[in-house]
Amino acid sequence: MESASRLLPGTDFGLTMWTAPNPFDEPTSYALIHPYTSDAGTGLAQTAAELGLRRLDEDRDILPLGTNIMYVSLRAQQVEFCIRDEIWARHPVTDDWTGNAIGRRYVVFVLGTEPLMDDQDAETISAYLKQHASIYTALVKIRLRVDKP
């Protein structure tokens, strides 16, 4: 697998975090990574394929990724998405988001390839997620990341 920095070369992307019930009505943490421009979407689709994410229009279950591929590390009020032991992306989170992630032991990771700007309301994000052909997803497990001296 390529290094984390190679997976998003020069791409401007946003991260949107929220909590909502999963299909079993359990509070769950979600993370959506999305490009700001359509040019960046092609690179994100390639990244999704390299990571083994499933496209929502393939009508399959959302499966967990192995921690050897990708994992989430929680640090204070931040989440870090790591590929191997390299931080790929980080974002501030709330106590509620962190608590739900710990409670489920995973985060629902969503990667969209269509442009979306930050700070969208729930209705806009819901409409975005219904574009199944451009939405990839997986369950990403939580793992302790140890900094190497």
What are the pLDDT digits (tens) for 21-49? 988 999 999 999 988 887 776 778 888 88
Can you tell me the mean pLDDT for 7-16?
70
Minimal CA–CA distance to 133: which of 54, 24, 63? 54
Question: Where are the domains positioned within the chain?
Answer: 4-141
Give residue-wise pLDDT tens across range 89-114: 889 999 999 999 999 999 999 999 99
Predicted confidence (pLDDT) at residue 117 exceeds the cutoff of 60: yes
When pLDDT is cut at 50, 70 and 90, the band that residue 145 belongs to is low
What global pTM score does this model have? Answer: 0.86
State residue 97's pLDDT score.
Answer: 95
